[in-house]
């Protein structure tokens, strides 16, 4: 067995209870003994037992078979072995029907029961691994379903596939709302560490006073309020992936601590003396201009090089306009199901409005807008009139500079062509008619602006 079991032995004969406890001492991390089903249930409710061994005939109101049923109701993943001196086929079948893993007759062969406990441990472990796998597959379907067909996103997907089967550190850079955590989860789900934990920590939302304890854990009594030992994110992510979101928000001391872990592969809990090995793959993310921060002295250059082994740039939504109809439809279906609304459709003018919007909040903003439309629009079709006013392409936004007029005109023309192509499913003749230009002119402008 990989891990010692917590075992509960239930038998009305003290000699059998003590004999099993002594005989299974090496197989169990902890053994509790009970003489009745009622006593066993009380111990079970207060403990964390993976295996219960019970006699069929017990004094009191409940027998061993009823105990099996009660435990299955409380904790179905518990493995149960039934023993009895009055073994019959009917009793064995009934025990299995109620959820028992095995049925053993008295007199007890200690070697046999040790073998059965070993099989039960393997069975329990496989059940736990299967549950974890099912949970992770369900999570992967929801969280790693990166949607889009644009060339910029295809480049990101290629990078994800290339880096996933390694342990190289990855730095994901992109604006807020572009889906950086989604990229990190995809890297984890496609990696050899996918069966391990994915631990995400937002460093920008954490007080500096708690950051060291959160990352590295602390020992009992290391500071006021530390009433027990607590593992940090590095321990929690052991054999998995640790995602450090907003890594550029770390204070100077924490940057030094993180750099030391990346260089040595070891860390200490707060208040601890023991050096612990780190076995977590590091993926970090930022929406800041990290190069500028290095120039300003607010982020360590040596830490940047440690984190930036494999850089991934996530494009903003305004550079993925051809993906907007696909994303909008995905969110529309998702929220119609979540909020129990009849399935809705976007009209072509609504799609055009979405494609031409500014989207400063990127995919997160698009997701929020689609949920709002699902909740507030009663019709089955969503028109452009239903779109929020702040989505208009000419909505007032902050700009860092005033560009030349020619540049503004070219950008507007490019976005108009992108929107028309998306609305017309990239059918060039229809797009040309929609724009009021010839197909030849459309081909020329698509080539000029790199729209393929």
Residues 92-115 pLDDT 10s: 778 888 888 888 888 888 888 888
Ranges 21-25, 195-199, 326-330, most confident: 195-199
> CB 330: neighbour CB atoms within 10 A?
17
CA distances for 418 relative to 148, 404, 449, angstroms: 15, 21, 10
Distance separating alpha carbons of residues 343 and 423, to the nearest angstrom: 20
**Residue 237 banded pLDDT, cuts 50, 70, 90:** very high
At 119-140, the pLDDT tens digits run 777 777 766 655 654 454 444 3
At 437-446, the pLDDT tens digits run 888 788 778 8
Distance separating alpha carbons of residues 227 and 222, to the nearest angstrom: 9
User: Is the pLDDT confidence value at 402 over 80?
Assistant: no
> CB 450: neighbour CB atoms within 10 A?
8
At 129-188, the pLDDT tens digits run 556 544 544 443 443 568 877 888 888 888 998 998 899 999 999 999 999 999 999 999
Angle between helices 252-264 and 208-216 (to 10 degrees): 10
At 345-395, the pLDDT tens digits run 888 889 899 999 989 999 999 999 999 999 999 888 899 999 998 886 654
Query: Which residue segments constitute the domains of the chain, with CATH numbers given?
Result: 5-129 (3.40.50.2300), 148-315 (3.40.50.300), 319-449 (1.10.8.60)
For residue 406, the model assigns a pLDDT of 56
Helix then strand count (H, E) for the chain reads 18, 14
Q: What is the pTM of this model?
A: 0.56
């Amino acid at each position: 067995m990989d891990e010692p079991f917590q075992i509960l032995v239930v038998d009305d004969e003290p000699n059998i209870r003590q004999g099993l406890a002594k005989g299974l001492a090496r197989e169990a991390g902890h053994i509790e003994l009970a003489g009745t089903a009622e006593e066993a249930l009380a111990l079970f409710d207060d403990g964390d037992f993976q295996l219960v061994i019970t006699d069929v005939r017990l004094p009191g109101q409940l027998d061993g078979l009823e105990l099996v049923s009660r435990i299955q109701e409380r904790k179905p993943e518990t493995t149960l072995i039934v023993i009895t001196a009055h073994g019959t086929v009917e009793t064995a079948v009934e025990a299995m029907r109620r959820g028992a893993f095995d049925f053993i007759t008295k007199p007890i062969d200690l070697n046999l029961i040790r073998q059965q406990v070993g099989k039960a441990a393997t069975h329990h472990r496989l059940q736990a691994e299967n549950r974890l796998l099912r949970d992770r597959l369900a999570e992967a379907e929801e969280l790693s379903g990166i949607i889009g067909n644009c060339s910029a996103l295809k480049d990101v997907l290629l990078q994800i596939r290339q880096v996933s089967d390694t342990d190289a550190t990855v730095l994901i850079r992109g604006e807020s709302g572009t889906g950086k955590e989604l990229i990190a989860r995809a890297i984890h789900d496609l990696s050899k560490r996918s069966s391990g934990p994915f631990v995400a920590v937002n460093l920008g939302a954490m007080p500096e006073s708690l950051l060291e304890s959160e990352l590295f854990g602390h020992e009992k009594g290391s500071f006021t309020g530390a009433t027990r030992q607590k593992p940090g994110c590095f321990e929690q992510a052991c054999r998995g992936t640790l995602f450090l979101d907003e890594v550029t928000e770390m204070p100077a001391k924490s940057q030094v601590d993180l750099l030391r872990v990346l260089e040595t592969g070891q860390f200490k809990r707060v208040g601890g003396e023991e050096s612990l090995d780190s076995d977590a793959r590091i993926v970090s993310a930022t929406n800041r201009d990290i190069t500028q921060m290095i120039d300003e002295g607010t982020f360590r250059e040596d830490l940047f090089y440690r984190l930036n082994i494999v850089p991934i740039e996530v494009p903003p939504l305004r550079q993925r306009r051809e993906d907007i109809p696909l994303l909008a439809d995905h969110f529309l279906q998702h929220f119609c199901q979540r909020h129990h609304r009849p399935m809705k459709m976007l009209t072509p003018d609504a799609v055009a409005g979405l494609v031409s919007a500014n989207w400063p909040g990127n995919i997160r903003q698009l997701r929020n807008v689609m949920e709002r439309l699902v909740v507030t629009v009663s019709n089955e079709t969503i028109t452009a009139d239903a779109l929020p006013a702040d989505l208009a392409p000419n909505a007032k936004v902050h700009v860092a500079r005033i560009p030349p007029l020619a540049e503004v005109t070219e950008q507007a023309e490019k976005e108009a062509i992108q929107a028309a192509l998306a609305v017309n499913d990239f059918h060039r003749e229809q797009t040309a008619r929609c724009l009021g230009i010839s197909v030849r002119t459309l081909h020329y402008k698509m080539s000029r602006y790199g729209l393929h």
